[in-house]
Structure 1
Amino acid sequence: MKKQIFMYLFVFAILALIFQYVNAKKAYEDTGRRIDNLAKENTKLKDSLKHMLIELSDYEYFSIENDTQALEYFYDYDIDNIQKYVSDKLIATNTKEGNPLIPYVGIDGTMRINKIRVVNHRWVLCDFSDGKNWGQLVIEYFINDDYSVEFNTIAHVMYPQNR
């Protein structure tokens, strides 16, 4: 009787070990597949990031922050951030009646400048709208010796409404 109990315990132990081995093998293979999938995803994300950095560098090519010659023009001025300074002065031209730099009358409100991108030491790109209608401007600017800023609209476009 003792031999049968030991034999049953031995068979049970072998079955438990086989179960443990199969389960561990499946878990190991699953972990390997997950690691491979994550490595592939990581490679895709790195490639996507490289692509986005190239696009960003192309986008920032026309930016005053990356234009050393344009920044040298402001060397004698005591202005820390030209982009912010010009943007603030340009936004200040928005009034309740509209903006004198925008040659369009708002249909659903007053036309106001919303977004601004300082391209270099002379030009600014702007987006304007009245809440429903919108367009874009190219504005020329000059900073005077008294730090006042003069703006002159060079070109403008108003986009048709989508109905």
Structure 2
Amino acid sequence: MRSKIFLYLFFFMALIALYLFVSSNKIIEAKDAQLERLHNKIENLQDSVQQTQLKVLDMQYFSLENNDDALVYYEHLQLDDPSRYIADKLLETNEQKGDNPLIPYEGMESDFKINKIKILNHKWIIADFSDGKYWGELLLKYELKDDLGVDFTLIDHLLYTRSQ
């Protein structure tokens, strides 16, 4: 009787060991598959981050902040951020009553005002303007003088037409 109990106990322990062995292998395989999926996601995210960084660098190419040759023109003025200073001066033209004087169109819904500004280098600016319904773009030439005055000259402009 005692030997049968030990035999059943041994058989039962062997089944438990077999179950643990099989289930641990399945757990390890599942974890390995999950780890592989996470590794692939990380690689995809790294590629995506790299592509985004390249796009950002490409977008910053025409930018006064990243153009050391153009910034040399303003070293003697002791400006911390020439781009911000010039953009502020351009936005001050919006403060006049009526349409912005640099925009060669009359506002149809309200007054045309400059919204977005991109300072390309030490000579040119591209700007977006709108009256709330209609919009367009300007290409401006500017000159930052030694007395910190800024002269803006319109080079070209366009007004988008609404397609209906």
Structure 1 and Structure 2 fold alike (TM over 0.5): yes
Identity %: 39
**Tell me, what secondary structure is at the counterpart of 1:98?**
coil
Instruction: Give per-residue Cα distances to partners, 1:88-138, cap 9 Å, x unaligned.
Output: 111111135231111122222221111111111111111111222111111
- Asked if residue 112 in structure 1 is aligned to residue 113 in structure 2, the reply is yes
User: 1:12 and 1:98, CA in 2 relative to 1: closer, same or farther beyond 3 A?
Assistant: farther
Match of 2:59 in 1: 59
Equivalent-residue separation in structure 1 for 2:68 and 2:111 (angstroms): 37
Which runs of no fewer than 5 residues in structure 1 stay unpaired? Answer: none
Match of 1:103 in 2: 104
After TM superposition, where is structure 1 displaced by more than 6 Å over at least 4 residues in a row? Answer: none
Equivalent-residue separation in structure 2 for 1:26 and 1:162 (angstroms): 61
Match of 1:7 in 2: 7
Match of 1:17 in 2: 17
Deviation at 1:83, TM superposition (A): 0.9
Equivalent-residue separation in structure 1 for 2:21 and 2:157 (angstroms): 74
Instruction: Give per-residue Cα distances to partners, 1:42-98, cap 9 Å, x unaligned.
Output: 222222222222232222221112212211111111211011111111111113523
**Tell me, what secondary structure is at the counterpart of 2:93?**
coil
Equivalent-residue separation in structure 1 for 2:21 and 2:108 (angstroms): 76
Amino acid of the residue matched to residue 75 of structure 1?
Answer: E
**Tell me, what secondary structure is at the counterpart of 2:89?**
helix
TM-score (norm 2): 0.89
TM-score (norm 1): 0.90
Amino acid of the residue matched to residue 63 of structure 1?
Answer: S
Which runs of no fewer than 5 residues in structure 2 stay unpaired? Answer: none
Match of 2:87 in 1: 87
* Larger CA deviation: 71-80 vs 143-152: 143-152
